[in-house]
Amino acid sequence: MKNFINIFLLASALIVASCDTDPCRDVTCGTYGTCSEGTCTCEAGYEQDTDGLCNTEQRAKFIAGYNLSETCDSGTDNYSVTIATSSQGIMKINVTGLYGAARTVSVDVSSDGSQFTIPENTPYGTGTIQGTGTYNTADMTVTVNYAFTDALGSVDNCTATLTRL
């Protein structure tokens, strides 16, 4: 009878163990991710790396030095700019050198990490600057559309292509 009870208990344990249907049981999401129903969701500001782990900052793709080719209402120009991390948060980057100025502007990275926004009326030297930037994954360039408004209210609209150094 003891053998029968032991076999019954062992069989019951195996049946219960095989009923464990937690879809996240064997899923690893990385440092900045959580699993829900078997799918990883990354925290704001992070995306999955090539291993599917939420360990990569979305803004990282922008961080580099660039050659800039710019066309503005006032003419064309070529010069260097830098995009760096910002200490203001994971959803921010710093762009230095737009409009040929040795100035830095803090910009907001979009929730999907593919774009950024220079907020309206951002102080920039003797005027303000505002606009948007988009990261192109195919060639790792950044396209920036922005407007510089000087102290007298004159607006210079610009489109720039940033190519990594």
Q: Give per-residue pLDDT as tens, 15-67.
A: 445 566 899 999 999 999 999 999 999 999 999 999 999 999 999 999 999 99
Residues 6+ apart with CB under 8 A from 101: 124, 125
pLDDT band at 136 (very low <50, low <70, confident <90, very high): very high
pLDDT band at 11 (very low <50, low <70, confident <90, very high): very low
Q: Of 105, 100, 114, whose CA–CA distance to 47 is shortest? A: 114
pLDDT tens digits for range 58-103: 999 999 999 999 999 999 999 999 999 999 999 999 999 999 988 9
Mean pLDDT, range 152-163, rounded to an integer: 97
pLDDT band at 106 (very low <50, low <70, confident <90, very high): very high
> Is the pTM value of this prediction over 0.85?
no
Distance CA 68, CA 76 (A): 11
More confident site: 26 or 12: 26
pLDDT recorded at residue 21: 85
Instruction: Dump the DSSP string for 129-164.
Output: EEEEEEEETTTTEEEEEEEEEETT--EEEEEEEEEE
pLDDT band at 121 (very low <50, low <70, confident <90, very high): confident
More confident site: 107 or 12: 107
